Structure 1
Amino acid sequence: MHAWPASEVPALPGKGRDLRIHDTATGGRVTLAPGPVARIYVCGITPYDATHMGHAATYNAFDLVQRVWLDTKRQVLYVQNVTDVDDPLLERAIRDGIDWVGLAERETALFREDMTALRMLPPQHYIGAVEAIPGIVPLVEQLRDSGAAYELEGDIYFSVDADPHFGQVSNYSAELMRHLSAERGGDPERPGKKNPLDPMLWMAAREGEPSWDGASLGAGRPGWHIECVAIALDHLGMGFDVQGGGSDLIFPHHEMGASHAQSLTGEFPMAKAYVHAGMVALDGEKMSKSRGNLVFVSRLRRDGVDPAAIRLALLSHHYRADWEWTDQVLQDAVERLDRWRAAVSRPDGPSADALVEELREALSDDLDAPAALAAVDRWAELQTAEGGTDESAPGLVSRAVDALLGVAL
């Protein structure tokens, strides 16, 4: 599966700072100092309704992570999946009377268009669950053969008790885990499971549903968590720098994925930092496909909204915050974009050297995008009020805003 084209990232004078970021597993900030190649895995979409503002906010956060790393003169190895076979996708295809493969391809193509318009840097490896199945099957067999997984009526389940570190990503109580498991695709009430929290690794073929050859597992399809583990281990290995996604993936998805990987390899941890973006609401409720309260990037674009304004709207909120999308949020972003573009359109201005360092400091401090926007606001206000004589300043501001915030002026 191919990703989307990369926009050019301008080079800036000097060098950026190492990223200090909130790690869900420890509950505090960690300083990430990767080697020459920084490694990141971000969980992708289930392509049946893309791309809403919740998606956009999440991928914007991890785009900033990449930009901070690139500014430190590192390379970035970025991997993202597409869950192109799963119950919600199949259910939507049945509801709409269309082929599930066609639905997945259509929504994935739309997602690519939105990511391109928003200037999100693409992953080097963009892998669908279906194409990953040949690599998933032997991992499930390994877990089963080692005693970390077991069969139940043809399905294969992972035993969470097999990983001594289970629970150390979310640090949630057993009661909350069970509640979230039921809410987010698990089946804690199924009779015969060794532990109610045990997640499915391989679902035996069901009548009327797609299935694939699972070798000794029999025909079926993979569970949700093992999909990402197989892709991450194949392209990044253990101990990669950042495992990312929305905060709704903390449990069960990232918790289970970590336990799968740790049981397979005997190594700990799967990732050096587990980083999670907040949820975006509309009319007081989290945007979700089940509620249908979605604001889509593609619809805003069709309505003539500049993608740079959409991106500024996302950047105006800290990535870990839960926030609400409103018309005013977008209007404020449109007005900010106009002010910035007017400021950099002049032939000279106040020196921008200090601004570049302010941007670097803000973003290295747990991706504090609102502080970065405020710094550019101050430069633009000074430009409007007093101007300046530095002929290089407007161009440097444009390059810095593009390189570090992904906004083209």
Structure 2
Amino acid sequence: MLLKITNTLSRTKENFVPIDQENIRMYVCGPTVYDYPHVGNARPLIIFDVLFRLLKKLFPKSKVTYVRNITDIDDKIIETSKKLNITTSELTNKVLDDFHNDCDYLGCLKPTVEPKATDHLDEMINLIKRLIEKGFAYQSNDHVYFEVSRFKEYGKLSNKNIKDLVSGSRVAISENKKESGDFVLWKPSKENEPSWDSPFGKGRPGWHLECSAMSEKYLGKHFDFHGGGLDLIFPHHENEIAQSVCTNDKKLSNYWLHNGYVTVEKQKMSKSLGNFVTINELKNNYNGQVIRLAMLSTHYTQPFDWNENILENSRKNLEKWYEFYSDDVESISDSNLKFLLDDLNTPLMISNINDLYKKAKTGDSLSANQLSSSCKILGLFNQNVKEWKNFKKIGKMSPEEIEKLILKRNEARAKKDFKTSDKIRDLLVSKGVLIKDKGDNTLWEYK
């Protein structure tokens, strides 16, 4: 069985050929733990979890290593800890616990290794020393920078030249740099900020450096897959390649995978724009499998537009499919696995599961078994029927919450603000509440 995958580096769909068939290796950039993860952060967790499951299925006798790092030192972490008047470690430990709870809620397997940046300062300092020795990095006013002009392939991943990349990007301007595109490997810490001793002075590492050091420690200098969100292509992944290739004179990763943005009304979901929903906010109203299936309904390379309708459709599909849930572990057939093998085509996989459902309804036991197996390879059916049904009961809105929303909706209808009234109706429907308008009154009931 041959896996095909879209490689950002070549901008083509390629056959996956392992470096070492007995040792498959994947690195995915994990969270910066300064606040609750939002739905946009959930997408790479789910996508690369599916790839991890698929690789384990395709190479059952091989070692499959999935490394997902934790960035626990960063400007945002320092700023947030100051605002909350707590230490950075208190903040990161709390957020990391929340993150792990979110991963469990979304049905994600634990990665093989989950290294923290603060546990790998020696590796980072060693990497900087090697870059300075080779002439790719320089010290300036207690900072260490990577000299981008020394790496001739810079920009290959993002398919742009350095001037285009720097123009309009989030590149920090500093008089300490030789060129504006040079990026920091080490910087001095301000008073009362976390810092570590180093040959370059007391300070802390640059963000990009962390992943190069940790991927090398756990996966070696050259590995199979490197993944993350589309927004990481530049500068983060471009800079990782520059650091690692210049240090080791080797290609860093053979296959670069990037998932598309999660959008709200076609605008990227982000904390800076304030248009985000945290994963934690969803837990009382949706089973994590609903969020997972919704995310998989769009191909990972495409934008995913977050809306209540797609959540409701996912809930209805799972409700149907659970009629054929089975505890038995039935191996998925090649004919049903082929959709995932074609660049993780989860939309076609979901369509095929619906076809299996129709056949199962006619009494086809083979289709029923394959439906269950297909769901499980996607990370669905991670609860038995009783657990699935119990969550539905727990997740219902209270009558008081429903009445408040209906009052707001009726006020919007009276003002002929139909956009708002429709949004409230869709919200109620998505949370399992049916409403019926009778004149000026609105009746409701649980589904």
Per the TM superposition, whether the score is higher than 0.5 is yes
Q: How far apart are the structure 2 equivalents of 1:93 and 1:370?
A: 41
* Map 1:121-160 → 2, pairs under 5 A: 121-160=109-148
- 1:327 and 2:308 equivalent? yes
Q: How far is the alpha carbon of 1:316 from its aligned partner?
A: 0.6
Farther-moved stretch of structure 1 (22-31 vs 284-293): 284-293
CA contact (8 A) 2:298 2:304 kept: yes
Q: Which secondary structure state, in structure 1, belongs to the residue aligned with residue 66 of structure 2?
A: strand
Q: Which secondary structure state, in structure 1, belongs to the residue aligned with residue 333 of structure 2?
A: helix
- 1:28 and 2:12 equivalent? yes
Q: How far apart are the structure 2 equivalents of 1:179 and 1:329?
A: 37
Q: How far apart are the structure 2 equivalents of 1:54 and 1:119?
A: 16
Q: How far apart are the structure 1 equivalents of 2:174 and 2:188?
A: 15
Q: How far apart are the structure 1 equivalents of 2:103 and 2:356?
A: 28
* 2:279 paired residue number: 297
CA contact (8 A) 1:346 1:394 kept: no
Q: Which secondary structure state, in structure 2, belongs to the residue aligned with residue 275 of structure 1?
A: strand
Q: Which secondary structure state, in structure 2, belongs to the residue aligned with residue 127 of structure 1?
A: coil
Q: How far is the alpha carbon of 1:287 from its aligned partner?
A: 1.3
Instruction: Give unmatched runs, 5+ long, in structure 1.
Output: 1-16
CA contact (8 A) 2:107 2:379 kept: no
CA contact (8 A) 1:162 1:263 kept: no
Q: Which amino acid aligns with 1:275?
A: L
* 1:5 paired residue number: none
* 2:437 paired residue number: none
CA contact (8 A) 1:262 1:270 kept: yes
Q: Quick one: structure 1 residues 33 and 245, their matched pair in 2 at CA, closer, same or farther if it must change by over 3 Å?
A: same
Q: Which secondary structure state, in structure 1, belongs to the residue aligned with residue 231 of structure 2?
A: helix
Q: Which secondary structure state, in structure 2, belongs to the residue aligned with residue 57 of structure 1?
A: helix
* Map 1:338-353 → 2, pairs under 5 A: 338-344=319-325
Q: How far is the alpha carbon of 1:196 from its aligned partner?
A: 1.2
1:202 paired residue among 161, 186, 193: 186
Q: How far is the alpha carbon of 1:64 from its aligned partner?
A: 1.6
Q: How far apart are the structure 2 equivalents of 1:311 and 1:247?
A: 19
Q: Whose radius of gyration is greater, 1 or 2?
A: 2
* Map 1:253-292 → 2, pairs under 5 A: 253-267=236-250, 269-292=251-274
Q: Which amino acid aligns with 1:249?
A: L
* 2:351 paired residue number: 374
Farther-moved stretch of structure 1 (49-58 vs 269-278): 49-58
* Map 1:10-89 → 2, pairs under 5 A: 17-34=1-18, 35-72=21-58, 73=60, 74-89=62-77
* Map 1:165-204 → 2, pairs under 5 A: 165-179=153-167, 181-182=169-170, 186-187=171-172, 189-204=173-188
Q: Per-residue CA shift, 1:25-67, capped at 9, x if unaligned?
A: 1110121122122100000100122321111111111112112
Q: Which amino acid aligns with 1:320?
A: T
Farther-moved stretch of structure 1 (314-323 vs 167-176): 167-176
Farther-moved stretch of structure 1 (29-38 vs 196-205): 29-38
Q: How far apart are the structure 2 equivalents of 1:261 and 1:21?
A: 23
RCO comparison, higher one (Cα < 8 Å, 6+): 1
Q: Which amino acid aligns with 1:69?
A: L
- 1:399 and 2:373 equivalent? yes
* 1:247 paired residue number: 230
Q: How far is the alpha carbon of 1:96 from its aligned partner?
A: 3.2
Q: How far is the alpha carbon of 1:142 from its aligned partner?
A: 1.4
Q: How far apart are the structure 1 equivalents of 2:169 and 2:130?
A: 24
* 1:317 paired residue number: 298
CA contact (8 A) 1:77 1:124 kept: yes
Q: Which secondary structure state, in structure 2, belongs to the residue aligned with residue 82 of structure 1?
A: coil
Q: Which secondary structure state, in structure 2, belongs to the residue aligned with residue 47 of structure 1?
A: coil
CA contact (8 A) 1:356 1:397 kept: no
Q: How far is the alpha carbon of 1:405 from its aligned partner?
A: 4.1
Farther-moved stretch of structure 1 (115-124 vs 310-319): 115-124
CA contact (8 A) 1:84 1:128 kept: yes
Q: How far is the alpha carbon of 1:138 from its aligned partner?
A: 1.1
Q: CA RMSD in A?
A: 2.1
Residue-pair matches, total: 378
Q: Per-residue CA shift, 1:270-312, capped at 9, x if unaligned?
A: 10011101110124421112222222222211x1411111111
Q: Quick one: structure 1 residues 153 and 359, their matched pair in 2 at CA, closer, same or farther if it must change by over 3 Å?
A: farther
Q: How far is the alpha carbon of 1:145 from its aligned partner?
A: 2.2
Q: How far is the alpha carbon of 1:192 from its aligned partner?
A: 4.0
* 2:440 paired residue number: none
- 1:212 and 2:218 equivalent? no
Q: Per-residue CA shift, 1:85-142, capped at 9, x if unaligned?
A: 1011112222333332211111111111111222212221111111111211111111
